[in-house]
Amino acid sequence: MISASNTSSWVSYNLYPEYEVIFDTDHDYLEDNIELEIAEKFKPVLHKHSYDLQQGLANLENYIVDGKFNLKVWTDQPQLAFDQQVSGDSSALHKWYIWHWDTYGKGSQSQAEQYNLNLNNSYRYSAAPTGQRPLYYHVYKNEGESYYYVQYWYYFGMNDLREQIPDTWHESDWEHVSIRLIKDGDTYIPDKVNFYLHDGGKTYSDSQCWWSSTNSLSYNGIQQGYDESHTHLHIWIAANAHASYNRYSRVYSVVGWVFGSLYRTYKDRLDYEPSNYDLYFNYDTLIKLGEISKQATIKCPDSGYTLSFHCYPTGPGSKHWLAYRGRMGDYDGDPGAAPPPPFMPAKEVGLSHEWRSFTVGNSFGNNGDVNYIVIIVDLCWIIDNGVGD
């Protein structure tokens, strides 16, 4: 008999070959306590611009449990097939329907792109209550690699660019950074950081990034370059677009025609210096996302139809809502004005979210989305001369 308590294990008699019992609630073969240790060591400081309309970080699970979302499903016609408030439990997002669809999978009448979570409009810009403001994290190690990875994900209720581009907005926005780690004995040391940005993102060495000794909301003690006394990464977040930047990076700028009808310009706004204010997105709880897996086929109840695939959380340490396959909110509706809202981070769409990959260079992020928004006249990265405006 094998018994275990947390990370300690014991047996009533000798076993051969030897076994190791670990605390692994999300079933990813990486000890949960190691994941938390890594997440705590590098937890970042999130810098906010004064133009940002978000009051603070949102708690997605609270929104689901408290009934702040309506799940809408559209058929291929398109026709609204389902519209119901989701509430009571985070697993309530998992819906079956006899029209052969499943929000954790894919069916015959509706494709995953047509599942939509419509957020109650009054919560678009709100923050989670103090004590429930989350920073989500995802730690993984791919088989055959020596690197460990930690991702920090943050959820916003609204992406609103109307201050610069009229009528361009969508509900919900997932943003993140990824840190690649080398294990030296019992110490985890970063060597590269991926900042999400917009069109492709960018990779920096640990010596190019900015770190501090604590994750307190301050520029005090900040330095460029990592050492074991400065382990907390600083991230600068673009106002209302929520892209993640390294300090003094060139900002994203777009000039173009929207389907040949309307000339538009856009530039991310970053506050790289605390000139007249010192603003941050605060968080007070780390929430582990866990992992999901995919089942090849599964029968949809009451229909007899076999779905082509079905996603599910791998264990009690994984969030049920992470397996949701649809869009994360309402949006402008004019396909020429804005792209639709994002999927869940773990949705399998190549490298668009880098859920279990770390691509050094510029080949990750919202690749292709810019061409969906505009016919490019000028797309570039520029030094923001209005830093701190």
> pLDDT digits over 297-340, tens only?
888 887 778 888 888 999 999 999 999 988 888 877 644 445 67
Among 277, 211, 276, 268, smallest CA distance to 243 is for 268
CA–centroid distance for 261 within its chain:
33
DSSP letter for 200, please.
Answer: S
**H helices present in 25-166, as ranges:** 32-42, 60-65
| pLDDT reported for residue 354 | 85
Determine which helix (DSSP H) or strand (DSSP E) holds 261, and give its type and residue range.
none
Going through 196-305 in order, the beta strands assigned E by DSSP cover 202-205, 210-212, 223-224, 232-237, 244-245, 251-258, 262-267, 280-281, 285-288, 292-295, 298-299
**Helices (H) and strands (E) in the chain — how many of each?**
3, 27
Q: What is the C-alpha separation between 254 and 161, in angstroms, rounded?
A: 12
Q: What is the C-alpha separation between 233 and 195, in angstroms, rounded?
A: 11
Is the pTM of the predicted complex or chain greater than 0.95?
Answer: no
How big is the chain by its Cα radius of gyration, in Å? 22
* Signed CA dihedral, 31, 33, 34, 35: sign only: positive
Q: Which residues of 3-31 are buried (b: 16+ CB within 10 A; e: fewer)?
A: eeeeeeeeeeeeeeeeeeeebbebebebb
Q: Which residues of 240-273 are buried (b: 16+ CB within 10 A; e: fewer)?
A: bbbbbbbbebebbebebebeeeeebebbbbbbbe
Which residues of the chain are modeled with pLDDT < 70? 1-21, 76-78, 108-113, 199, 255-264, 276, 333-339, 348-352, 365-389
Bridge-partner residues for 173, per DSSP? 156
| pLDDT reported for residue 262 | 56
Q: What is the C-alpha separation between 345 and 348, in angstroms, rounded?
A: 8
Residues 222-245 have pLDDT tens digits of 999 999 999 999 999 999 999 999
- Sheet with 251-258, strands from edge to edge, namely 262-267, 251-258, 375-382
Match 């029968």 to its residue by tokens. Answer: 299
| pLDDT reported for residue 382 | 43
Q: What is the C-alpha separation between 288 and 313, in angstroms, rounded?
A: 13
Q: What is the C-alpha separation between 209 and 246, in angstroms, rounded?
A: 6
Among 362, 366, 328, 335, smallest CA distance to 349 is for 366
| pLDDT reported for residue 130 | 95
| pLDDT reported for residue 336 | 40
Among 250, 314, 339, 367, smallest CA distance to 29 is for 314
Among 347, 345, 343, 341, smallest CA distance to 329 is for 341
**CA distances (Å), 37 to each of 137, 178, 188, 299, in order?**
11, 16, 10, 40
Q: Which distant-in-sequence residues (6+ apart) come within 8 Å of 170 by Cβ?
A: 158, 159, 329, 330, 331, 332, 338, 339, 340, 341
